[in-house]
Amino acid sequence: MINEFELIKQLQSLVQNQNQAVALGIGDDAAVLDPQLISAGQKIVLATDTLVAGRHFLEQDKPEDIGYKALAVNLSDMAAMAAQPKWLLMNLTLPEIEEQWLTGFKRGVGELLGQYQVELIGGDTTSGPLTIGFTVLGLSSQPKKRCSAKAGDLIVVSGELGSAAFALNNPGQNEDCDTQLKRPIPRFDISESVKDYAHAMIDVSDGLVADLGHICEASCLAAHIDLEKIPVLKAIKHDPQWRDYVLAGGDDYQLCFTLAPKDANKLPADCAVIGHMKTGDAGVSVYENGQTLDVKQSGFDHFG
**% of the chain residues with pLDDT over 90:** 74
Q: In angstroms, rounded to a whole number, what is the distance separating the alpha carbons of residues 187 and 57?
A: 21
Do 213 and 273 form a contact (C-beta atoms < 8 A)?
no
How many of the other CB atoms lie within 10 Å of CB of 303? 3
Cα dist. 239→57, 82, 170, 233, 254 in Å?
Answer: 23, 34, 10, 11, 21
Q: In angstroms, rounded to a whole number, what is the distance separating the alpha carbons of residues 154 and 224?
A: 10
Note the pLDDT tens digit of each residue in 177-222.
999 999 999 999 999 999 999 999 999 999 999 999 999 999 999 9
Average pLDDT over every residue of 148-172: 96
Q: In angstroms, rounded to a whole number, what is the distance separating the alpha carbons of residues 45 and 137?
A: 6
Average pLDDT over every residue of 161-172: 95
- Per-residue pLDDT, 100: 93
**Arithmetic mean of pLDDT over the chain:** 90
Q: In angstroms, rounded to a whole number, what is the distance separating the alpha carbons of residues 81 and 46?
A: 10
Whether the per-residue pLDDT at 10 is higher than 90: the answer is: no
Q: What is the CA radius of gyration of the chain?
A: 20
Note the pLDDT tens digit of each residue in 110-134.
999 999 999 999 999 999 999 999 9
Average pLDDT over every residue of 38-43: 83
The pLDDT confidence band at residue 24, using thresholds 50, 70 and 90, is confident
Q: In angstroms, rounded to a whole number, what is the distance separating the alpha carbons of residues 211 and 117?
A: 28
Cα dist. 14→18, 114, 177, 244, 299 in Å?
Answer: 11, 9, 29, 39, 35
Note the pLDDT tens digit of each residue in 208-260.
999 999 999 999 999 999 999 999 999 999 999 999 999 999 999 999 999 99
Q: Give pTM, 2 decimals.
A: 0.89
Phi, psi of 260 (to 5 degrees): -70, 145
Do 153 and 258 form a contact (C-beta atoms < 8 A)?
yes
Q: Kindly report which listed range (144-148, 194-198, 295-299) carries the lowest average pLDDT score.
A: 295-299
- Per-residue pLDDT, 301: 45
Q: At what angle do helices 99-116 and 4-11 cross, to 10 degrees?
A: 30
> Nearest 5°: CA angle at 198, between 296 and 217?
40
Helix (H) or strand (E) holding 84: strand 84-94
Q: In angstroms, rounded to a whole number, what is the distance separating the alpha carbons of residues 155 and 255?
A: 11
Alpha helices in the chain (DSSP H): 4-11, 63-80, 99-116, 163-169, 175-182, 188-194, 208-219, 242-248
